[in-house]
Structure 1
Amino acid sequence: MPAWQALPSFLRNAHQSLVDAGNAAGGAVVRLGLGVSRPYLVTDPEHVHQVLQERAANYPRGDDTALWRSVRKLVGDGILAEGDTWLASRRTLAPLFRRGRLDALVDPMAQAIDEATGRLEEAAAAGSVVDIGSELARLVCAAIMRVFFDSRVSVDEALRIMEAQEAIVTAMASRLLAPFAPWWVPMPGDRRFHRSVQAIDDILLPVLRAAVREPGDGDDVLSTLARAQRDGQPLSERQMRDDLVSMVAVTTETSYVVLTWLWPVLANHPDVADRLYAEVDEVVGAGPVRAEQLPQLTYTQMVLNELLRLYPAGWIVPRRAVAADVLGGVRIRPGATVIISPYATQRMTAYWGEAAESFDPERFAPGRAEAEKDRRRAYFPFGLGMHRCLGEHLFNVEALLIVATLVSKFRVTLTDRTVPTPRVAASLRPGRRVELTLSRREHSVAGRSL
């Protein structure tokens, strides 16, 4: 696609431009003319699997891509690195995400989320307008800091970290739009980026040092890192810091970012909202949510799956080719940048039909998914291959708990019912705040809504 066509579209609406380019190419590998940068856009599920899974060694993240260069400035060498460093970090941290461990934490997480809705109940009583993104961040922190960090990081500290993360991912926008710019060339947002990284270190490093002095025998993140060894030696403070920063991001970022999109989507699909509320009423009633109820929230899970399809937090995944390759008949030169976009592939008509960009949870109905296995290969909101996100099951548990808790307690009315357009950032964020008012729901003794 020539620069005169691709570059203005990308600058105007980077997200939709990738969808449009993928649709125009019919899933074929296409080169985008973005001025000095000319990356290959890979959207076909078969080609995506080749890059992220089958030939992953030839397509590392690469420090010379704008996104990963910026990410490494934040998280350093840890779970988001490559090679032996990544493998060592994954071996240390993966046990924390075992399904059995997470399932055992459902009830404590549900209790923490339920207790943290007190501010929302006050807002509902007062008729106050709330920024649901900020409130979701608080709910996520309440659950995660208790069960993953043994409350060594307070909710207020975690919220300050998330504010810094917000500044970081949005400060990276200029570098995403100008990926050819060297890091030593000053760009808008650079100072904010570095201040925010320092703010995170100022919060986490004292907590980490305290955990090293008294590691304890728990299986929380800090105790695990404090006890961990590599090559027979304790981890350096830098290694622990890098893994800790990565883990805070992994355990908080996706949940509140993705769930912020849910409320305008429901406002524009009342049939989906009615069915969601009916299921939560039947399964959960007045709450609180319990672990054994989660498998019964099948429609709620379908809604979350469709939400992840249209609004994946990780909307763009750049890779750098180490050696020459051929993808779909297109020769990829060594050193070339390859862009994979779950946002684009998961909205393309070639894989999801003419109504690809409409919200339809029935795509993920039990039984239908197996019948449409080829379509499901075009669904990868958590990535693929060895770098598939560790937090996938955590998101599914946490999101179900948060949505079921909020739906059981409140009805919501948005101040602006339109679905926001995304803004350019490292993860998919609404272009404006999502604000709403809440009204408290009443339930009968039997647990059914009145």
Structure 2
Amino acid sequence: MAAPHTVPVQPRRAGSVPLRQVVPNLFREPVHTLVDIGERSQGEVVKLSLGAFRPYLVTRPEHLQRVLRENSENYARAGDGLHWRPLKRLFGDGILGDGEHWRNGREILQPLFTARRIDSLVDRLAGTIEKVVDELDEPARTGQPVDMGTVQARIVCSAIMEVLFGNKISVPQAMRLIEAQDAIASSVMPRLLVPWAPTSMPMPGDRAFRQAVELIDDMLLPIVRASRTTAESDGDDIFATLWRGRTEGGARLNERQVRDNAVSMIATATETTITVLTWLWPHIAQDERIAERLYGEIDRVVGDAPVRREHLRELRYTRQVLDELVRLYPIGWLMPRSAVRADVLGGVRIEAGATVVISPFITQRMSAFWDRPEVFDPDRFDPGQARNRHRYAHFPFGGGPHQCIGMHLFYLEATLIVATLLSRFRIRLQRPAVPGIKLAAALRPLERVEVTLEPVRRVPA
């Protein structure tokens, strides 16, 4: 019997979301608008009609896997692309870019971020975190409110500058760098929302952006230059590693390349932990069941001892809480790619040169892939549930060759911070509402989270 004749399926044109439905709401309610576009697409590849700029929105996990992993060489970060162009003025050609500069930076820095090496740093991280948390004893005793964003920034800066940057950047300097990063994340947003605007055209935020970049360079370039002379004897901090590193062709990095990679690593190693934990405290304040389960695990595993490496593997529910936080609040919420060659995604033809927009924020809040996606529920990351979920339904750190180099560090550091704080204090919010979301180059809370700290009083055994 002859095999049935099959007619090849021809790629189809993508559905379109018209300009008039996107732009007004994108400026007025960007978060709701983005998720609504994803919901209306029902996981299909659609075109966003933004005048002359018509990117494809890709949300379905199977399609994301193709773009980020299976065919990743065809979907470049496009260092000169419309979305990257504004941020390139800060990050330059380094590990956050693509192509030769990305490969060189990744190859040189990757040994510092292997799971084995990061695990070896746990006790040093824990000790530094504990020292900074000790400073909270006084406001806890007096009932003085503290801003958790500032607290987290000081903890993270102290830990990261010691274990990754060899204390060549002081904590006060690092705090100023974080403030500059915050200013940049907000000031660059008009250009990200209107990526086709030429750089010669003045935009709101340009002046604040330039001032913040100048501050970063004024602070970092002297450190970059000074570290060159001691690189051979300075161990394995990021500056020394970059200066000693070799490109694919065997050359050393120049001053600008070391600067670009250092700026990128400061952002990568600090931003997610500082920012995402700000949403933790309001969420656990609003759900007593989650709070008690989290407190109970930390009390059982850590008790009144310092948090150490051996505790981490037992803090399983704490890890589920962190997974749920980065589901709802993925700091890198936008991951545009440029198609090098034509491709087909979900039956839709993607032309060579087309922009493909990927957003963990959208996919991770779509009801097509998540039950009650707006609800904060760490149980969805119970191993039994997570086992049945597509790998690319949850990708807050990207995927494939460009997966964030600092992902493992985030989970270790954030677990240490949460466990250290909650083994010592109970946290009471001044204002119990969960902060809204400020759409910037990286997500930010709209409001500060101020709390009072109550020392944990343990009953003697």
TM-score grouping bracket, smaller chain normalisation: over 0.9
Is 1:326 aligned to 2:344, yes or no?
Answer: yes
Is 1:381 aligned to 2:396, yes or no?
Answer: yes
For the residues of structure 2 that align with 1:67 and 1:419, how far apart are their CA atoms?
A: 30
Counterpart of 1:361 (choices 375, 378, 394) is: 378
Q: Offset at 1:21? A: 1.2
Q: What is the letter of the counterpart of residue 124 of structure 2?
A: P
Q: What is the letter of the counterpart of residue 259 of structure 1?
A: L
How many residue pairs get aligned? The number is 443
The runs of 5 or more residues in structure 2 that have no matched partner are 1-16
Match of 1:276 in 2: 294
1:403-418 equivalences in 2 (<5 Å): 403-418=418-433
Q: What is the letter of the counterpart of residue 377 of structure 2?
A: D
Q: Offset at 1:16? A: 2.2
Q: Offset at 1:119? A: 3.3
For the residues of structure 2 that align with 1:81 and 1:24, how far apart are their CA atoms?
A: 31
Match of 2:253 in 1: 235
1:116-135 equivalences in 2 (<5 Å): 116-135=132-151
Contact 2:104 2:246 in 1 (8 A): no
For the residues of structure 1 that align with 2:82 and 2:293, how far apart are their CA atoms?
A: 42
The runs of 5 or more residues in structure 1 that have no matched partner are none
For the residues of structure 2 that align with 1:334 and 1:180, how far apart are their CA atoms?
A: 18
Counterpart of 2:204 (choices 166, 184, 188) is: 188
For the residues of structure 2 that align with 1:443 and 1:145, how far apart are their CA atoms?
A: 33
Match of 2:453 in 1: 438
Counterpart of 1:311 (choices 329, 341, 344) is: 329
Contact 2:79 2:97 in 1 (8 A): no
1:47-446 equivalences in 2 (<5 Å): 47-215=63-231, 216-230=233-247, 231-353=249-371, 355-370=372-387, 372-374=388-390, 376-446=391-461
Q: Which moved more, 1:112-121 or 1:290-299?
A: 112-121
C-alpha distance after superposition, 1:108-128 (max 9, x if no partner): 101100101133222222222
Q: What is the letter of the counterpart of residue 97 of structure 1?
A: F
- Aligned residue for 1:250, secondary structure, equals helix
For the residues of structure 2 that align with 1:202 and 1:218, how far apart are their CA atoms?
A: 25
What is the Cα-based RMSD across aligned positions, in Å? 1.5
Contact 1:67 1:426 in 2 (8 A): no
For the residues of structure 1 that align with 2:460 and 2:271, how far apart are their CA atoms?
A: 37
For the residues of structure 1 that align with 2:67 and 2:118, how far apart are their CA atoms?
A: 30
For the residues of structure 1 that align with 2:340 and 2:392, how far apart are their CA atoms?
A: 25
Q: Offset at 1:333? A: 2.5
Match of 1:26 in 2: 42
For the residues of structure 2 that align with 1:118 and 1:6, how far apart are their CA atoms?
A: 48
Which runs of 4 or more aligned residues in structure 1 lie more than 4 Å from their structure 2 counterparts after TM superposition?
A: none
Q: Offset at 1:435? A: 1.6
For the residues of structure 1 that align with 2:200 and 2:72, how far apart are their CA atoms?
A: 29
For the residues of structure 2 that align with 1:7 and 1:383, how far apart are their CA atoms?
A: 26
Q: Offset at 1:36? A: 4.2
Q: Offset at 1:65? A: 4.0
For the residues of structure 2 that align with 1:348 and 1:227, how far apart are their CA atoms?
A: 45
Please report the TM-score for the alignment, with normalisation by the length of structure 1.
0.95
In our comparison, the structure showing a higher alpha carbon Rg is 2
For the residues of structure 2 that align with 1:85 and 1:20, how far apart are their CA atoms?
A: 36
For the residues of structure 1 that align with 2:258 and 2:377, how far apart are their CA atoms?
A: 42
For the residues of structure 1 that align with 2:120 and 2:73, how far apart are their CA atoms?
A: 35
For the residues of structure 2 that align with 1:71 and 1:126, how far apart are their CA atoms?
A: 43
Q: What is the letter of the counterpart of residue 221 of structure 2?
A: L
